[in-house]
Chains A and B, each alone.
Chain A
């Protein structure tokens, strides 16, 4: 279905994910029943210590992995029902990734790095360059178009990565420890940039972090411990839990059931 404004960006319903480590070993459960919803334009921090299942959750809502049980919907589409090619397309058009390690291609200009997702979207070179430049300008790097990653500071590299996440005009930006490799001041700048995009463009923003200061900037936090969500700030209309939404009546129910 075509997502409407009422369709949440992310719906996670009773999701578990376990890994087979060996033929004889018991499967290891990384997620053991997690549910939450992120509405269009929402801003959520997923927090928890290492080993709590943050990365596993990120892979699921990033459409890089499928749940063992339960349902993950991105813009209303159940990722378990999509094949690898459809998942690739979903990632390409609807999700922007920002990684802790920046993950820029070395020896490649900022413009080409930012344009990379557009290559897989099938755009021509001229349009790719134009959109990449616009995205770089939007993150304040209009003067760094031809610089290669090793010629940029850490903060600038992460801005390039944010421009790359932005360039396909996605509905969701997933930022995995976006400030983890940056000093506090630069980290604050990067967070301010992400928040501005969230506020100005209405892009939903999910930040995964173990840093309470960063998490505290989000109006709503989902805390993970040992694969389950423990406590969430209730009442935020943009990021209620799935069960809260189910009591809401038609729009919310439609959002979940209509996929």
Chain B
């Protein structure tokens, strides 16, 4: 009996019990589907983070307080405007430096009100962190020097506070203080889970007065030349070392940020895949169960086949192939559905999903492996049946 013959016999048997076969296959389908879909969601989240970080530009450096590691407690920043000045002077020909402080505040206009993120920034923020102005203008050096109460609105912030009205030269109040709107920013979308369009930018000095602090949360440095990234990093460390201990600040490149975020998300993806793997395992046990039922139901058929000259190995192979074919069908359907649902989820739901081909291959491979592993026991039982006993079974 050739292998092709075994597959043909298996397909005949599977067709003969459509309902039961479908339900068995369903278990495998759900298992494979879960693996593909959940891994796609995990990868989708990773892709969003990666895109968000890359959006900042590969020549951007972040200076954050404390040491920046997975599991490290947040540290309160001790940076001040002096640090921006010192760094700007030191890196004059090589990079632009800016910094920001942020706080959630109630922002009101005559026509609207929103609780949103108010960010104090320097004039260079526009270029360093890339906030292209849509209308009006961005904050300038003079606004910063005098702590002038002017504001630039993100796209949705402008829409929320003023609706269709042009907000330029209109007033808003932040924490009870009045600010004059001088510009709006182009829509930027969401990055790293932050809706950049809902932000309101004010001069850093005005923000410090508003929040009652003298520090700056984060410094941003954009090098003129990507190749100078390491040199600039060293320069920043040298300048800041004059005021801070080495473990009181960290200079982060995009790769380092991605590294930390990536490790978290890889863990997440792995956990999701493991959960999905359990459902695949349960599907496999279902296959084993059904194959045992099938062997016991078809005892007479097995006895007959043996009487007609089937060898033990041929009977074993027939049932093993049947289990593998069942799982294979489930694997193909599950992978197809998983890919389809991932695409649907990515396109029509807020959940990002990115199909990874290794997960499809893995899930399909595992489902066939499940067929082998869970098929062997029932198949061997079938092969070992005594034809005399098997033929007599009613």
* Chain A residues in the interface with B (C-beta under 8 A): 55, 59, 62, 64-65, 84-85, 88-89, 91-93, 97, 99, 103, 105-108, 116-117, 119-122, 164, 168
Contact = CB atoms under 8 A, between A and B. Distances in A.
B261 interface: no
B305 A84 contact: no
B308 interface: yes
B90 interface: no
Nearest to B383: A84
Contacts of B314: 120
A93 B305 CA distance: 13
B309 A88 contact: yes
Contacts of B312: 84-85, 88
Identify the 10 closest CB pairs spanning chains A and B, nearest first: A92-B309, A120-B309, A117-B308, A88-B311, A103-B304, A59-B388, A64-B387, A120-B310, A91-B309, A107-B16
Contacts, number: 59
Nearest to A120: B309
B1 interface: yes
Nearest to A121: B309
A74 to B, nearest CB: 13
9 contacts: A59-B388, A62-B307, A88-B310, A88-B312, A91-B309, A117-B308, A117-B309, A119-B9, A120-B305
A103 B299 CA distance: 12
Interface of B is mostly: helix
Interface string B279-305: 000000000000000000000110011
Given A64-B387, A64-B388, A103-B300, A91 B307 contact: yes
Contacts of A168: 309
Contacts of B305: 116, 120
B311 A84 contact: yes
Nearest to B387: A64
A117 B391 CA distance: 16
A64 B311 contact: no
B196 interface: no
B301 A89 contact: no
B12 interface: yes
Contacts of B149: none
Contacts of B392: 55
Given A64-B388, A84-B312, A106-B16, A119 B307 contact: no
B242 interface: no
B303 to A, nearest CB: 8
Given A88-B309, A107-B16, A119 B388 contact: no
A55 B388 CA distance: 9
B1 A122 contact: yes
A110 to B, nearest CB: 15
Nearest to B306: A88
Contacts of B307: 62, 64, 91, 97
Given A106-B16, A120-B1, A91 B388 contact: no
